[in-house]
Amino acid sequence: MAKETVKKKAAAEKAKAEEADSRRFKRRSVLWPAKIRVGKHELSCQIWNLSLGGARVRVDLPLQDGVKIELVLTGRGEIPATVAWAKGELLGVAFDVGPEVVKRMFEDRLHVLGLSEDD
């Protein structure tokens, strides 16, 4: 039984590493206040990580997969996105705009965030 547990653990770690490698964009850990707009409603949230293709967000009210939102960043603008996954208060959101649009929003911070191609 111990061998099975070790094998399962190793397989899970390998799958996690492969998933991280398959991500299209680098992710950067952040802790930023923001808002999520769903229709006419706005919810406070925290951005926990960010990439040129999406973000991991904590929000008080859970949302369902597939919900169209706008991620509102004070001083930066709004990014249209779709909830890719939801686990309780945590959401993975996929931006509905290309990476060039996100780059322009953060052009003065790309190197600091580690999101430029040079990093």
Question: Per-residue pLDDT for 11 more than 80?
Answer: no
Give yes or no for a contact between 54 and 93, defined as CB atoms under 8 angstroms apart: yes
Q: Looking at the domain assignment, is residue 108 inside a domain?
A: yes
Q: Looking at the domain assignment, is residue 4 inside a domain?
A: no
Q: Looking at the domain assignment, is residue 20 inside a domain?
A: no
Q: What is the pLDDT of residues 20-69, one digit of tens each?
A: 444 578 889 999 999 999 999 999 999 999 999 999 999 998 899 999 99
Q: What are phi and psi of 114, to 5 degrees?
A: 70, 30
CATH number of the domain that residue 93 is part of: 2.40.10.220
Q: Looking at the domain assignment, is residue 1 inside a domain?
A: no
Q: What is the pLDDT of residues 89-118, one digit of tens each?
A: 999 999 999 999 999 998 888 777 777 765
Q: Looking at the domain assignment, is residue 49 inside a domain?
A: yes
Q: Looking at the domain assignment, is residue 118 inside a domain?
A: no
**Residue 24 has what pLDDT?**
73
Q: Looking at the domain assignment, is residue 106 inside a domain?
A: yes
Residue 2 in tokens: 């111990």
Question: Per-residue pLDDT for 16 more than 60?
Answer: no
Owning domain of residue 51:
25-113
Total domain count, the chain: 1
Q: Looking at the domain assignment, is residue 6 inside a domain?
A: no
- pTM attached to this predicted model: 0.75
**Residue 8 has what pLDDT?**
61
